[in-house]
Each structure stands twice: as structure tokens, then as C-alpha cells.
């Protein structure tokens, strides 16, 4: 297997120091670029409404990573799905990807709403959300997904 090194470009500062599945909208979150980057690296990001944040769910023990199928949130009332058919945290490479609302930028710090990452989480990349790179055509998902995520953000406006 081929591998390659990836180093964080930034770190999350959040009012939540632990992970759990729901209520993420209540958190205040900033992302601070690593010291090797100048503030100039964020120039223009504030002309976008949203940013795509790629991060490592580093609190997940690699020994607990799922490589097969499981019930989302271990809820047997939900269908058993392959790890690549869900957004579970115990996934190969432990990567999280979230589109967040940009609240402001100051120096090497970007304030965001709707990031489901705990304090100290390493950020691997930041990309402006560009609508033409979003889904094309109709988006389809099983009905149980909306019900399962009803309390995930805790505030419907925070994720938009």
C-alpha cells in the first residue's frame, strides 16, 4: 500500500473539548492557521459565504475504525450500511468534511459556524465552497437520514 505524509494546515479552537453526535450549532469555533502560514493565505476567503473544512477526527482510536458495515450510531433500527455509505467517525483515515458558514477572518484566524470538530482538532485543508462544485442534479438520500440528524446541529440556521 502506498502512503504519503499529510500535515495539518490549521487547528480548531472550540468551546467543545469532546465529541458527541448532536448539538454542534451551540459551539463557538475558530480555525487558526499553523505558524508556517502567513495571514495572506486567507486573503479573499471572506468573499465567500462558506468554507469546506477537511479535518482529522484524531480522538478516534485507530483500533476502532470500521472497515466493513455497521448500523449508523449503532442503532439497530437503522439499516446496516457499509462504512462508505455513512458519515460515521470511525472510518478509514478518520477524515471529516464539513461545509461551514464563514463568520469572519482576522489575521490567520477564520471564525466559522457549523463545524462539528472538537477543540484541538487538526485541519488538513480549507477550500471555499463554490456552488458549481456542489451536487449537480437531484440529490437523493434515504428518509431515515433526516430523522437521524434532526438534533445534530441543534439549530437549523447554524449549518446554512
Grouping H, G, I as helix, E, B as strand and the rest as coil, residue 144 is helix
As given in the structure block, the three cell numbers for residue 59 are 480522538
CB 77 within 8 A of CB 148: no
CB 146 within 8 A of CB 17: no
Residue carrying C-alpha cell 466559522: 112
pTM reported for the whole predicted model: 0.85
Q: Minimal CA–CA distance to 123: which of 103, 98, 104, 86?
A: 98
Domains of the chain, start order: 10-148 (2.40.30.70)
Residue pLDDT, tens place only, 78-137: 889 999 998 888 899 999 999 999 999 999 999 999 898 989 999 999 999 999 999 889
Amino acid at each position: 500500500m502506498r502512503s504519503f505524509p499529510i500535515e495539518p494546515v490549521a487547528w480548531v479552537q472550540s468551546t467543545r473539548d469532546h465529541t458527541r453526535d448532536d448539538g454542534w450549532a451551540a459551539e463557538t469555533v475558530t480555525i487558526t492557521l499553523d505558524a508556517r502560514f502567513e495571514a495572506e493565505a486567507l486573503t479573499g476567503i471572506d468573499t465567500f459565504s462558506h468554507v469546506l473544512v477537511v479535518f482529522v477526527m484524531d480522538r478516534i482510536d485507530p483500533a476502532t475504525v470500521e472497515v466493513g458495515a455497521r448500523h449508523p450510531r449503532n442503532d439497530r433500527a437503522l439499516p446496516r450500511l457499509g462504512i462508505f455509505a455513512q458519515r460515521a467517525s470511525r472510518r478509514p483515515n478518520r477524515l471529516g468534511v464539513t461545509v461551514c458558514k464563514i463568520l469572519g477572518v482576522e489575521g490567520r484566524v477564520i471564525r466559522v459556524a457549523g463545524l462539528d470538530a472538537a477543540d484541538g482538532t487538526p485541519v488538513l485543508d480549507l477550500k471555499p465552497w463554490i456552488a458549481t462544485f456542489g451536487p449537480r442534479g437531484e440529490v437523493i438520500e434515504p428518509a431515515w437520514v433526516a430523522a437521524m440528524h434532526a438534533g445534530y446541529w441543534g439549530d437549523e440556521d447554524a449549518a446554512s
